[in-house]
Each structure stands twice: as structure tokens, then as C-alpha cells.
């Protein structure tokens, strides 16, 4: 049972009560991520996420984590392209502590200059660790290739030079502008007393004020038909291929989830069975969706020997074209509906998963679908919906690519997958881009 309301200061609250549990997950999600940054401040959202754990006016950094861990709870945070979330999971008897901790961090953090300088070293090491991961390097490079200079291309962690340039003044100014009640949501899922919870939230967050009403607005970026390559001394070649996707909560989101699942969503998918099981060209291959506000992409990832890359890409390209043209059978449609319903329902068994999903939906759409509504939407997918998504997302083919590997002739690989894109693309405009 969902309950949604707004405090007098503009802070939205969504709660979902589940009485048979003895735990509760609480999160505050802010509509601010690397997409909200300027090029000069790239990485500051993630930096601020770290700094909220470095001490408040009444708690040290150690006390912040110690207080919740001493009662068996968990506290963490994450930054994405479009949102930052701070969250706690604990026994329901410690809900008051969880809310007090989160509000103390968000409203009373000190941002001590000495701690800022220390944290620069910590995050630079995090960047170094990310640079040692071919998958992370590939993700950043492919995002840059897909979105060009749009902020969606910015790496969430930022760069070393940008991180070193952050000052306390820049941090406080950014928080003052981007962290407001108006672009934030409190999400609670688990066992609680509704009346008591309302009083706790009002007590902890009712004093949060902002000098202006900040509601993020984004320009819709162009999806570029291009490729990017990073030469790295590693054994495998890591490849990311991009297709046109759909924005978050598009009317055809569920048909796209279904089709993605058939193409590359699991061990029984077309790409896994063909490229790995039948041909033995790789260990890992899968496709996944990246829905953002106003735009989305479908990505296909694989890691394999560069000696097999041309053959694998030829097979992947042919399978994508065949999939786009032939679609799926009625039997596949019904089986796939059951699969994604099961995945959705199983995901609901975690209070933290439900809390995140509710927060994101309410943050970006001011609404949330009930479990019954989601199931109804999945059941309602018909052949026309499938065809519309095939035409919009899959028939244009592979639009862009990213490669990370050692001494790879990626221009030759591009000829295998991108030759048809340029012909398709040129019917739209002369800039080799697809809107």
C-alpha cells in the first residue's frame, strides 16, 4: 500500500507499508547526478556523496557509520547520471535512528577543509581502481562516443584534475543550488506506524529550506553514430555496441524490456546461445537498457579474444538485423511475459529494491505503479507494441561502438557493424547523427 504526500517545504514522501516484515529501508534520493554538472565541476556530485559521510555538527565520520552498524543496520549511498541516493536498512525498531542519521548528514554536514583534501586522495584512488577495470573504462568511453559533449557523457567519478580543483566554496555553492527539498524524495519501505512515521519525517526534514525552487531540466541529447577506442594492455578485447533505446517510463518501456530480454537478457537469449554456446567465441555476452530522462540506449556488451572479434561482431550484427526484421513468435511473446513478470515480482522481495524503485519513480514522474498495474501493463503487451519497438529501436541497427583492448584495428571492426548505420543515418541528415 503506497502513501504519497508533500511536506510544506516541497519535499515529497512516498511510503510502502509491509506489515509481515521486521525491517525497514529508508532513502533520500536527490535528482542530481553527473548530468546536472558543468564540465568544470564534473565529478562534484560523487565527491559530495562522499563528503556527507565525513562528519556533521553532532557526529564524527566514525559515529555516522558506527551508530547504525551497532544496531545491525546498513548505511550507504550511490551517485548515478541523474540521481544521488543516501539510504539505510535496519530493523523497524530503529527507524527513528535511520531518519535522524540521514537528516543530520544532509542538513548538518560540516565539509571540513582538511577532510575535503583527504577525500580527494580517496576518490583519486577510486578513479585509479576504475581505470584498472576494462568494463568501467569501456562504459565511460562508449558514453562519450554516444552523447558527445552532452553532460550525459560525463564520467560519474570525474577526472583527477577536476577532483583536485574542488574547494569548500564550490561544494557549498553546488549543494545550495542542487540539493533542495523540491528535487528530492524520501522513500520508506517496510514495517512502520504511518502516523509515527509522518511525525518523524516532519521532525527530521521539515526544517530543510531552499532559497529557490530548483527543478532540473535537460536538453535532449543527440545519439551519435560513431565509435571510440582506448588502447589498454590487457588480454581481452572489451566491446560495447549501442542501439537506440527509449526514455525512462516511455509508453513502450515494457515491450522494450521484453524484447531486450529475448535478444540478450539471459543464458537462453539469442546472443548468448548463438555467440557463446553455439560458436564458443566468448565467455560473456549480454544486452541491457539505459533509460534516462528524454532519451535511452540499448547496449550489447561482450569480452573476448581480439582474434575472434570480427567473427563475433559479424554474428551479432546479423542476429540484430534478423531479430529486427523477424521479431518474435506468439509463443515467445507469452513466455517472455511470464519471464519479466517473474523477474519483477522476485525483485519486490527486497525492501531496499522496492524503496529504490519507488523513490526513482516518484522523483522523476510524480507517480508510482502498483504491483497490479505493472502486471497488467506486461500482460497487455501485444504484437503491435512489439512491432512498434522493433521499428523504432532495433531496425536502425547498431549505431555506435566502444572498444577497449590492446593493438586493435577498430576501424576494420567498425566496417562490420556500422556500414549499414551510415546508409540509414544519411537518409536523416548529413551529420551522421540520429535524433
Nearest to 253 by CA among 326, 123, 360, 134: 360
CA distance 323 to 321: 5
| Centroid of chain to Cα 241 | 18
Rounded-to-integer distance, Cα 405 and Cα 309, Å: 11
Confirm whether 40 is a catalytic residue.
Answer: no
Burial class (CB in 10 A: 0-12, 13-18, 19+), 2: middle
Closest CA to 316 of 255, 411, 236, 243: 243
Q: What is the C-alpha separation between 15 and 189, in angstroms, rounded?
A: 6
- Among 16, 37, 39, 49, which one carries the catalytic annotation? 49
The percent of the chain in helix, strand and coil, each rounded to the nearest 5, is 50, 20, 30
- The beta strands (E) that lie in 318-365 are given as none
5 pairs with which residues across the strands? Answer: 13
Asked whether the beta carbons of 50 and 122 are under 8 A apart, the reply is: yes
Strand partners for 30: 84, 184
* Other Cβ atoms closer than 10 A to 283: 10
Order across the sheet with 2-6: list the strands. 2-6, 12-17, 184-190, 23-30, 84-91, 74-79
Task: Tell me 293's DSSP state.
Answer: T
Give the whole-angstrom CA distance, residue 425 versus residue 435: 10
Would you name the residues annotated as active-site residues? 49
Amino acid at each position: 500500500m503506497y502513501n504519497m504526500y508533500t511536506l510544506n517545504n516541497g519535499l515529497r514522501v512516498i511510503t510502502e507499508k509491509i506489515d509481515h516484515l521486521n525491517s525497514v529501508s529508508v532513502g533520500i534520493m536527490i535528482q542530481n547526478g553527473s548530468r546536472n554538472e558543468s564540465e568544470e565541476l564534473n565529478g562534484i556530485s560523487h565527491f559530495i556523496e562522499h563528503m556527507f559521510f565525513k562528519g556533521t555538527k553532532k557526529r564524527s565520520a566514525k559515529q555516522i557509520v558506527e551508530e547504525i552498524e551497532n544496531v545491525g543496520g546498513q548505511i550507504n549511498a550511490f551517485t548515478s547520471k541523474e540521481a544521488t541516493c543516501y539510504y539505510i536498512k535496519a530493523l523497524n525498531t530503529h527507524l527513528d535512528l535511520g531518519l535522524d542519521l540521514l537528516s543530520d548528514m544532509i542538513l548538518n554536514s560540516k565539509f571540513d577543509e582538511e577532510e575535503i583534501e583527504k577525500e580527494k586522495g580517496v576518490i583519486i584512488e577510486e578513479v585509479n581502481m576504475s581505470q584498472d577495470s576494462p568494463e568501467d573504462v569501456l562504459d565511460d568511453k562508449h558514453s562519450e562516443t554516444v552523447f558527445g559533449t552532452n553532460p550525459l557523457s560525463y564520467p560519474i567519478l570525474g577526472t583527477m584534475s577536476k577532483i583536485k580543483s574542488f574547494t569548500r566554496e564550490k561544494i557549498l555553492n553546488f549543494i545550495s543550488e542542487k540539493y533542495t527539498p523540491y528535487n528530492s524524495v524520501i522513500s520508506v519501505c517496510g514495517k512502520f506506524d504511518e502516523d509515527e512515521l509522518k511525525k518523524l519525517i516532519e521532525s527530521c526534514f521539515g526544517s530543510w529550506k531552499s532559497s529557490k525552487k530548483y527543478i532540473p531540466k535537460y536538453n535532449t541529447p543527440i545519439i551519435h553514430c560513431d565509435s571510440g577506442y582506448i588502447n589498454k594492455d590487457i588480454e581481452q578485447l572489451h566491446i560495447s555496441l549501442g542501439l537506440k533505446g527509449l526514455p525512462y517510463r516511455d509508453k513502450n518501456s515494457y515491450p522494450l524490456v521484453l524484447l531486450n530480454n529475448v535478444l540478450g537478457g539471459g543464458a537462453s537469449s539469442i546472443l548468448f546461445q548463438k555467440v557463446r554456446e553455439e560458436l564458443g567465441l566468448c565467455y560473456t555476452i549480454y544486452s541491457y537498457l539505459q533509460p534516462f530522462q528524454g532519451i535511452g540506449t540499448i547496449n550489447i556488451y561482450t569480452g573476448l579474444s581480439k582474434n575472434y572479434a570480427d567473427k563475433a561482431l559479424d554474428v551479432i550484427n546479423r542476429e540484430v538485423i534478423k531479430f529486427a526484421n523477424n521479431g518474435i513468435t506468439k509463443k515467445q511473446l507469452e513466455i517472455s511475459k511470464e519471464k519479466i513478470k517473474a523477474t519483477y515480482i522476485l525483485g519486490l522481495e527486497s525492501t531496499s529494491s522496492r524503496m529504490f524503485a519507488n523513490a526513482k519513480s516518484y522523483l522523476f514522474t510524480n507517480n508510482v505503479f502498483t504491483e497490479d498495474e505493472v502486471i497488467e501493463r506486461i500482460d497487455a503487451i501485444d504484437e503491435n507494441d512489439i512491432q512498434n519497438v522493433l521499428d523504432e529501436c532495433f531496425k536502425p541497427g547498431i549505431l555506435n561502438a566502444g572498444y577497449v583492448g590492446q593493438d586493435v584495428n577498430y576501424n576494420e571492426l567498425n566496417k562490420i557493424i556500422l556500414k549499414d548505420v551510415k546508409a540509414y543515418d544519411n537518409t536523416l541528415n548529413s551529420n551522421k547523427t540520429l535524433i
